[in-house]
Structure 1
Amino acid sequence: MYKIIGLTGGIASGKTTVSNYLKDRGYTVLDADQYSRQTTAKNGPALPQIIEAFGEDIVNDAGELDRKQLGSIIFNDADKRRTLNEIVHPLIRQMMNADEAKFVQEGHVFLDIPLLFENGLDQRCDFVVTVFVDRDTQIKRLTERDDLTIEEAEARINSQMPLTDKVMKSKYRIDNNGNLDALYEQIDRFTEELESM
């Protein structure tokens, strides 16, 4: 029987790299961030509620969500972050559930969800895989990737459950402190085990 596998990590921990490698290996990966972008796109189902909650200034002249501005608001205010999540998460879940039900008939399905534990979605998975790095590496990668200050990077990291907690709650852990070869080797070992279950 095919498995529903939670795939999570922290911001800038390398979860997307793992996700892409799994896709390259032929696995179905349902990415919560992609569904989120669909719901918040111009004319997306969440956008009117987001404008109502955060004001007209949250969209640019083209009528698209100003993600950077929204990020600077929600990563520094837990209440505003909760408001956004209450708008977006039910829509994401609805879309993911429909695709999950379809694809699990054909093979294992990975649910790539950054806030998997935070939202209790680990309960829907057969087990969870967490991609982790140490905090210094996480800060370094995040500041370089998103052109953030150390303070901005820390605010984003602190808005999530600590990676150490996610690791403890997971059946499988993938250490991404090394290079890509070491990362891919761990994924290969994990998928071999998955296929023998």
Structure 2
Amino acid sequence: MLKVGLTGGIGAGKSEVARLLVGYGAVLIDSDRIAREVVEPGTPGLAAVTREFGPDVLAADGSLDRPALGAIVFADPERLAALNAIVHPLVGARSAELERAAGTESVVVHDVPLLTENGLAPLYDVVVVVDASPETQLDRLVRLRGMAEADARARMAAQATRAQRLAVADLVVDNDGPREALEPQVRAVWDALVHRAGAS
């Protein structure tokens, strides 16, 4: 099994690269999606979050009220650390479970937005960084996602710098250009991953 960490700044096009890799045969483990799953209604994760942060973080239907929780944790690093201490081990356990189910011959791609920020590069055999210039990221966030420019800039500033991400990369996908320029690059990355998986 080859464990691949896939990361990139917001608006760089990481999700599209992940989609293409799955099309070639990768097994995708999406940490954001798992982080949502482990705090769904009825889970031990949601019970733990409610114990830590109180009933005000629940919506009327019993699900997690993300904006309410976000308002608490993003203003206070200690509260954010308390949330991460609940959610990260659950995400890790579920990721490991999915990885075991993938089988020994697989190329397993972990989609990890904050790989660089959280110092997770050593956990993977190969780190793939989807790279785009800050100008391209900003344009996509504003034009394609409808974000206000100030919000987009704030989200970008909260992440690792382009240089920090590139410093942990084994393979880089340059996604500054048009969509049709992306596919041949991802195909080449896939071929390199398959080669490494065979060699290991």
Which residues of structure 1 form unaligned runs of 5+?
Answer: none
Aligned to 2:134: 135
In structure 2, relative to structure 1, the CA distance for the partners of 1:64 and 1:7 (3 Å cut) is same
Q: Distance in 2 between matches of 1:69 and 1:141?
A: 27
In structure 2, relative to structure 1, the CA distance for the partners of 1:139 and 1:59 (3 Å cut) is farther
Aligned to 1:116: 115
1:6 counterpart = 2:11: no
Q: Distance in 2 between matches of 1:188 and 1:89?
A: 31
Cα deviation for residue 167 of structure 1 reads: 1.2
Cα deviation for residue 73 of structure 1 reads: 4.6
In structure 2, relative to structure 1, the CA distance for the partners of 1:17 and 1:71 (3 Å cut) is farther
Aligned to 2:101: 102
Aligned to 2:158: 159
| Helix, strand or coil at the partner of 2:38 | helix
Cα RMSD between the aligned structures? 2.2
Letter of the 2:184 counterpart: E
**What does the per-residue CA deviation read over 1:36-88, in whole Å, with 9 as the maximum and x for residues that have no partner?**
11112122332223233333232211111222443455445433332322221
In structure 2, relative to structure 1, the CA distance for the partners of 1:81 and 1:95 (3 Å cut) is same
| Helix, strand or coil at the partner of 1:83 | helix
Cα deviation for residue 146 of structure 1 reads: 5.1
In structure 2, relative to structure 1, the CA distance for the partners of 1:74 and 1:142 (3 Å cut) is farther
Contact 2:121–2:168 under 8 Å retained in 1: no
Which residues of structure 2 form unaligned runs of 5+?
Answer: none
In structure 2, relative to structure 1, the CA distance for the partners of 1:104 and 1:154 (3 Å cut) is farther
Letter of the 2:83 counterpart: L
Contact 1:75–1:156 under 8 Å retained in 2: no
Q: Distance in 2 between matches of 1:153 and 1:43?
A: 34
* Runs (4+) off by over 6 Å: none
| Helix, strand or coil at the partner of 1:48 | helix
Between stretches 71-80 and 177-186, larger displacement belongs to 71-80
* 1:155-194 map, 5 Å: 155-194=154-193
Q: Distance in 1 between matches of 2:67 and 2:138?
A: 18
**What does the per-residue CA deviation read over 1:78-137, in whole Å, with 9 as the maximum and x for residues that have no partner?**
333323222211100011012213314131111111122333332121110011222232
Contact 2:24–2:190 under 8 Å retained in 1: no
Contact 2:126–2:170 under 8 Å retained in 1: yes
* 1:18-167 map, 5 Å: 18-144=17-143, 147-167=146-166
TM (norm. structure 2) is: 0.85
Letter of the 1:188 counterpart: R
Q: Distance in 1 between matches of 2:157 and 2:80?
A: 13
Contact 1:75–1:155 under 8 Å retained in 2: no
Q: Distance in 1 between matches of 2:53 and 2:4?
A: 34
